Structure 1
Amino acid sequence: MNSTTSPDNTPTVIAIAQQLVAQLSDMYYQLGISSEVDAFYTEIFEPMMELQPDPNEIEDGFETTNEISNIDMIRLSCAYVVGALHCYGTDDENSWLGVSHAQYWMGVAYGLGFTQGLVKKAFVNRAKSGGAQRKERYTPLRELARELAEKGDPVTNKPFPSRRQAALKIKDQILAASVADVRLKPDQAERTITSWLSDMQFGSKSKR
């Protein structure tokens, strides 16, 4: 997908991402999370730009807790923005997917931050449901990763020595199998695949 440009020649997807960051910063301040107007940039955005957290991991965490706050939503939205910015130029389709997910979670964060009672509970439930749906979409990829890891190294015909080595070896096959809204970002695939293999045994403890 080729990005069009805004009137000032900024690529549209980048312009949207920049606008989302500004809106998230304003929300961060308006919700009283910090008394500093620009705190969002130093506390959330800049560290995320450096660390590049996987938004999938943040979203997965929503499934297992009832304590989802507006700051959790803001962090998730920001993680998708950061991913979109880093993808632009090498994977424009994922960049557009990133800003669309960021817009969605920013809306949920807004609703959660300015509502109470049953309405607030509804936004929490939406977040949990969103995490569950994302996990379901990734189930085929996760099962494929576990199947390939279980088979071991096809070159040596031996078990993979570690979880990380398994993830590195099968990463290209998993990326090739990912499509549309279940695409993995190449720079985060290793970490995601490693998490999918977290309860498996490798090396001398592996059973084949």
Structure 2
Amino acid sequence: MREIYKQDLEHLGEDLERMARQVARATDRARVCLRDNDLVLAEQTIDADDRIDELADEIEANCLSMLALQGPVASDLRLIIGALKLSDTLERIGDFARHVASMARNSYPQPAAPEPIQTTLNQMADVCASSTALLVELITDHDLELADKIIAGDDLIDDYHLQVRRQVQDPANDLDRSQIVNATLMSRFWERLGDHTLKAANRVVFIIRGERALHGSHN
């Protein structure tokens, strides 16, 4: 029985790695479909979110089963509880990537936002994609120095978010109402995606070290 339990814990770690890779792929696809105004890639990103949700449900079910049947203690309990929270956070990252792709699809054949806002959104997206890729490495390699890079990325994403707000409010850009709404929502989606990537990094650090958070403002 304990050997099966050990295998279940190993599978849990593998499922988390797989989910993180899917989320990072979704974020990168959302980034590209926004930049290139790619309708096909937007549809693929939206469709892929169902698979992320299914994996999150599977992880949750496995965690609850181990909690109910195995009575884990100490580091095993921390792993299972941490995995529950981490999978939920990863699922939210996938949701925000889907939101971005949906807006890109709805704006087609026009870009999601006019210049110079589109360029700023593309820069935000680049950092978000880089941060989710770092998150995959953090989960697989347990290199805690990567968490510092994710923190720095989140700060940069927040700076871009403020920049979009200023651009939207700048009368020189002469935006209509739909452009204001699109730019504001798109920036918000990327900003929240970055926040949840940082939150996921905090979850991983907790699983590894048993300590709470790297960055208090986004717990």
- Establish whether TM, by shorter chain, passes 0.5: no
The two structures have a TM-score, normalised by structure 2, of 0.35
Query: Which structure ranks higher in relative contact order (CA pairs < 8 Å, sequence separation ≥ 6)?
Result: 2
